[in-house]
Amino acid sequence: MSQTTTMKLLTIVTENLLKEQIITLLKEHHITGFTISRVEGEGSRGVRASDWEGPNLKIEAIISPQGAEQILERISAQFFDNYAVIAWLSDVAVLRGGKFAQPSQSKSS
């Protein structure tokens, strides 16, 4: 009945200066389609709060569930200690056979 399949929406909010580094990381995981929007960060999270305030980028990509947590961990390992970056995953339903081919990542379900 359902025509949809569950994918992950990866959302990254980051300082502007990390844009290219994060896009490079995503492409290493075969994520070649994403959107970028501008957001203002406010408040403190305890870590480099001063960097958090001001212009930030929000990067969003629909990715395969396989490997999604691994990408989250790479972002964390590479950026969380020294930059104002947060990232999260959420479940989204897309139409089966949509535009979300995930080469080499969907060997098991």
Build a one-symbol-per-residue string for 45-64: x at contacts with a second copy by CB under 8 A, - elsewhere: xxx----x---x-x-x-x--
Give yes or no for residue 25 binding a second copy (CB under 8 A): no
Give yes or no for residue 93 binding a second copy (CB under 8 A): yes
User: Among candidates 81, 33, 30, 85, which has minimal Cα distance to 57?
Assistant: 85
Asked if 34 and 107 count as a contact pair (C-beta separation under 8 A), the reply is no
**Residue among 13, 18, 22, 63 that touches a second copy (CB under 8 A):** 13
Task: In whole angstroms, give the CA distance from residue 55 to residue 5.
Answer: 34
To a second copy, the closest distance from the beta carbon of 64 in angstroms equals 13
Give yes or no for residue 22 binding a second copy (CB under 8 A): no
Asked if 63 and 30 count as a contact pair (C-beta separation under 8 A), the reply is no
